[in-house]
Amino acid sequence: MDLDAIGGLVVLLLLLVCTACGPALATSVSSASTPPGPATAAAPADSTATTAPPATPTPEPALAALVNDQPVYLADYERELAQYEVSLLARGIDPGSPKGQESLTQARDWILNIMIEQALTEQAAATAGVAISDAEVDAYMQEMIAESGGEEAFQAILVEWGETSEDAWWEVRAQLIGMAMTQRIVEGVPATTEHVHARHIQVDTLQEAERLLAQLEAGADFVTLARAYSQDHNTSASGGDLGFFPRGILVAPELEEAAFALQPGQFSGVVTTALGYHIVQVVERDPTRSVDPESLRFLQDRAVQEWVEGLWAQAIVQRFVESTP
């Protein structure tokens, strides 16, 4: 799967649109200055000694956050927020209006979250040995310049957004790292896996479910009962048929767990979900069935989302800016 195709999977991630905020963007210099060396000869007794003033340490740049001890600089965060204000104006929204202020208040939080996720992604990439070369970034930059209509047009866009070429270069690098990590995750989702073909009956009360279960145990036909009593109107006409599905697809995981625990011809006891009370029957099983494209995309998106949630769960994040003005 190529990177362009993978990029579309990262809508939930928001990892591909933020400014890189790693150490390479640091604008600080070392606070330790080299002290004057010792004199090589004593000054004459009657001379006036000249002493150099002590070096003034350069203050460290302010932080918006620390992500596992990696800084997210306040200047970068404020630049992103300023760019968002520009986007409001482009959409005809005055940032000073009540609607604009509401939008900015919401943006303060999610812009910082995007930058934190980017830092987490870069850290995970380094741990996994995933790297993007300067040549790859340069090549992608040239594509962007060409699509913008040339260098002059590209520079005009950067000026409009308050960015420099260096800013754009680091943003492209961040995007490519996010895309590479996304590709790594989705490639771990198998395109062929075990499926079950199942059907179910859904009712509103436990008493009704137990009554139908007793009829099934007495030999009643599952399809006939599903057509007559199931409250799932999407499947009742087909006798409760859910079709073939792999693990991770059904809205109610309890149904899925029950289905994969059964052999063909068997039916479950009463299964309780947020949707109601169910009885599940497995029609057949296929240990090596191809996942249909829609389901595969869903499973890939979910895998990426779970991966991002895992990064957050393991991270130590300190925030130094408020989400409200």
Specify the pLDDT at position 59.
Answer: 74
Regions of the chain with pLDDT less than 70? 1-58, 323-325
| 23-65 tens-digit pLDDT | 333 322 223 333 333 333 334 444 444 565 666 666 788 999 9
Specify the pLDDT at position 40.
Answer: 34
Specify the pLDDT at position 322.
Answer: 76
The residues pairing with 272 across neighbouring beta strands, listed in sequence order, are 277
Specify the pLDDT at position 38.
Answer: 33
CA dihedral 100, 101, 107, 109 (to 10 degrees): -170
> Which domains does the chain show, CATH number per domain?
9-23+60-188+304-319 (1.10.4030.10), 193-288 (3.10.50.40)
In the three-class reduction of DSSP (H, G, I as helix; E, B as strand; rest coil), residue 6 is classed as helix
Contact (CB, 8 A) for 137 and 173? yes
Ramachandran area for residue 62 (φ above 0: left; ψ -120 to 50: alpha; else beta): beta
Distance, in Å, from the CA atom of 200 to the CA atom of 180, rounded to the nearest integer, reads 40
- Using a cut of 0.85, tell me whether the model's pTM lies above it: no
Distance, in Å, from the CA atom of 55 to the CA atom of 31, rounded to the nearest integer, reads 9
